[in-house]
Amino acid sequence: MKIKSLMISDPITITDKASVREAIEVMKTNSIRHLPVVSKGNILKGFVTMADLRTGLIPSMVAGLSLSDIMIKDPITIDPDSDVEVAAQLIYKHKIGGIPVVKKGKLVGIITETDLLRAFIDMMGILTASSRIDVAIGSERGLFKKALQVIEDNGGEVINVSMAIHRARKRVYSFRLAPCKTGVIKDALEKEGYRVVAAMD
């Protein structure tokens, strides 16, 4: 999935001529926590967060600090044609809540941790009605394929599969299924020697 399919296009922006108080008002009015700072032609000049603005509010009132004094002048940016995984890695690595999306220096959007979480929830089908069965599967060739076949042969319609590596490098696969009774599937898997960690109708 590309950034451009998930980003907020034409985000709310502010110029570096604005005051800190004005920036706070824009964020409060629009219920946003990230604000790209642009110049004429929507050229990205910086990036501010609500935390930055709160920190700078008192100094701006006392010492006359402007928005350009407290904004991040060289923010981390991402291209709209980059993969969503790249944005997730940047947000996690740098502990930031959002990234301006830039094409040839021009701001074209913004992507936030909330957008990424929503995409993850959609991909995993977490908010849709479903069943789930978690199975510990060894790394030997063919075991995953066989487990998948057992699930399908016993009425399981697989929506998606995710994997976690647990202690002792054991792989546990979570099969999200269309709503069904998982008892029959669980019994069939265990009969074939698989360990079913959890099953939820």
Q: What is the pLDDT of residues 123-172, one digit of tens each?
A: 766 667 789 999 999 888 899 999 999 999 999 999 889 888 766 567 89
Q: What is the pLDDT of residue 55?
A: 76
CATH 3.10.580.10 maps onto the chain at: 3-120
Q: What is the pLDDT of residue 148?
A: 94
CATH 3.30.70.260 maps onto the chain at: 125-200
Q: What is the pLDDT of residue 58?
A: 59
Residues of the chain by 3-state class (helix, strand, coil), percent to 5: 40, 30, 30
Q: What is the pLDDT of residue 10?
A: 87
Q: What is the pLDDT of residue 158?
A: 92
For 98, other C-beta atoms within 10 Å of its C-beta total 25
Q: State how far the Cα of 60 lies from the Cα of 190, in Å rounded to an integer.
A: 66
Q: What is the pLDDT of residue 20?
A: 83
- Counting as low any pLDDT under 50, the low residues of the chain are none
Q: What is the pLDDT of residue 187?
A: 95
Q: What is the CATH number of domain 3-120?
A: 3.10.580.10
For 186, phi then psi, to 5°, come to -60, -45
Q: What is the pLDDT of residue 164?
A: 82
Q: Given this structure, which CATH class describes domain 125-200?
A: alpha beta
